Structure 1
């Protein structure tokens, strides 16, 4: 907190600091219970009508009444991690997008509108709730908003909703928070317009070589360029469609790992090699065979292949509530880089017609 020469806490931020990372202390609780304070650190995303909105690293928005402020100051960005690869948010966002490529896409200025959904027999008319389809993975069915659309935000969002309505898909915008260059301001603007944050996860990064060293060769892991029937039998998404297969097989250099089992594979995994990056996904183990090192063996085998192709850094996605995965990946040297979110358009903004923007 900012302390004056007289030893008093001071508020040294104003509405002009919107967009900056700040640290504030505010008064909470009831007066008859004594003064209680809470500290909030994050990006100041708005200051309207006497209320501050501060977006924390995990994307959570905190509202603070200006009248409750006790102290506040702008603060520098969080210090860079001391381990693992250094990467800018935009680089990682583009690498992750290439690992889950859509079936079709379109540019809206510098934004990329992405969709991956096949035709459904007997589907209802476009734009109706009953006629909506669920695409394969939100990442392949959401807007990647990197850069400028060349138009006001409201016009851009209207065009986004029309584009997805024409494909009978809900409109999603993928955003990120918690790192330099992420999109806290866009998150706040979407929330102001009623967009709903449905999914939050984290993208973790780490050095690749230590992962490769975790499993001794030979490990019994079979690598393939395609997801065969055995691999799909273990994959948690049942009834994989032709569109899903296209997305799973997309990427600069895709590898699938399988540990054979009696009826279905004991474990599987997927890795996409893209320049210096190796992206891990779909690491799944037979529930009856967990905690036997199979996930580690799968990732180690994929990491060795990625090293052979020139990669040196690794990334993966971790859900907030998946404590087991967070423990596993943390032990491998991975650490959180940023949080990412999928915002869904409010139903009231979905056009009823099926035309393209």
Structure 2
């Protein structure tokens, strides 16, 4: 998942230099909820959205979600009163929601069905997966439960499976959140692979949420000049905006993985005919999966990722999905803030163990 996600205005996500507001000075009275478009010192434009605290001939002061913002009258480009924010959602029931009650192994199997590899071989509870090298999720042995044989035999089977396919041997190890991959509380398989010299790669968090708790498209405005398009397959325009780990065009093996769920939606934001952000939503077994979120570097911090998350959530509701999940690199603080701000919480974690080179 790409980093650098966040808001682009002073108060809430969704800013952009192309936005326009009707100038209505008579509405700019203290106590009103307003949006003020103003010029920054560097010449760029920004929006301040919130309660107007003060207004005189020299300045206006707005209380936004990020603190007070002072706008000089000379820098005011436009402003108007806006409706109050949506009413808060009803509090959750005290009883654990499905996305919180589901076990680690069960959720890992749900996620695997939303990102299916081309090949799967069973080794006891383990699943050896291969998909031409496109993503670690589809090209690793998912270590669930016991492999049914001694670990040294399981390791040999994993090495042979990936060697036959010209792929690096890799094992995905799920574990409780907050457990260090190399710590004393790590799963036994992680400790034993560590003793064999298998290195830790890509510590990842699995987040879940109730679909009904996620914002919908109507709650997340788009910057002016942008539009959203959704398709059931990853067409050429969507693919033009997606670069797995910064790589070039998605290979044929990747296309097959991207379209491998029971159903999916591929959403993109378009500005001036160019794709500037993309996301994938997958559907199956009552779950919505969120993946392949990417925003062009030139368009980050404008609320586009949050809007795409809302689009995908809307599709999940339309397909009667109850729960949602996603996987995010543990070190990606920006993406975590985006998702946790939308209503996701940490369920568990996993990391890969990679066989040492020859």
TM-score over 0.5 (shorter chain):
yes
1:334 maps onto 2:334 in alignment = no
Secondary structure at the aligned position of 2:274 is classed as: coil
Q: Distance in 2 between matches of 1:347 and 1:218?
A: 49
The alignment of Structure 1 onto Structure 2 pairs a total of residues equal to 252
Which one of the candidate residues 250, 259, 265 is aligned to 2:269? 259
Distance 2:312 2:270 in 1: 15
CA contact (8 A) 1:172 1:342 kept: yes
Correspondence for 1:301: 311
Q: Is the 8 A contact 2:221 2:307 kept in 1?
A: no
C-alpha displacement at 1:172, in angstroms? 0.4
Structure 1: gaps (5+ residues): 1-79, 118-134, 349-357
Shift of 1:214: 5.8
CA distance in 1, matches of 2:188, 2:102: 21
Q: Distance in 1 between matches of 2:200 and 2:306?
A: 32
Q: Does the Cα contact within 8 Å between 1:141 and 1:172 map onto a contact in 2?
A: yes
TM-score by length of 1: 0.66
Which has the bigger relative contact order, CA under 8 A and spacing at least 6? Answer: 2
Match in the other structure for 1:26: none
Distance of 1:289 and 1:210 partners within structure 2? 26
Identify which of 178, 187, 191 aligns with 1:188.
191
Deviation at 1:327, TM superposition (A): 1.1
* Secondary structure of 1:85's aligned partner: helix
Distance in 1 (alpha carbons) for counterparts of 2:200 and 2:128: 18
- Please state how far the C-alpha of 1:286 moved relative to its aligned partner: 2.1
Structure 1 residue 114: deviation in Å? 0.5
Conservation of the 8 A alpha-carbon contact between 2:110 and 2:285: no
Aligned twin of 2:214: 211
In the alignment, which residue of structure 2 is the partner of 1:111?
126
Q: CA deviation at 1:168?
A: 0.7
**Alpha-carbon distance in 1 for matches of 2:137, 2:124:** 19
Q: Is 2:231 the partner of 1:233?
A: no
Partner deviation per Cα, 1:273-300 (whole Å, 9 max, x = no partner): 1222111011112222222221121111
Length-normalised TM-score, structure 2: 0.65
CA RMSD of aligned residues (A): 2.5
After TM superposition, the structure 1 stretch with the greater mean CA deviation from structure 2, 309-318 or 204-213, is 204-213
What's the CA shift for 1:82?
A: 7.1
Aligned counterpart, 1:167 = 165
Give CA deviations for 1:197-219 in whole Å, capped at 9, x if unaligned.
12211111112112243644996
Unaligned runs of 5+ in 2: 1-93, 179-184
Encode CA deviations 1:21-73: one digit per residue, 9 max, x unaligned.
Answer: xxxxxxxxxxxxxxxxxxxxxxxxxxxxxxxxxxxxxxxxxxxxxxxxxxxxx
> Is residue 233–residue 264 contact of structure 1 (8 Å, CA) maintained in 2?
no
Q: In 2, Cα distance between the equivalents of 1:240 and 1:318?
A: 20
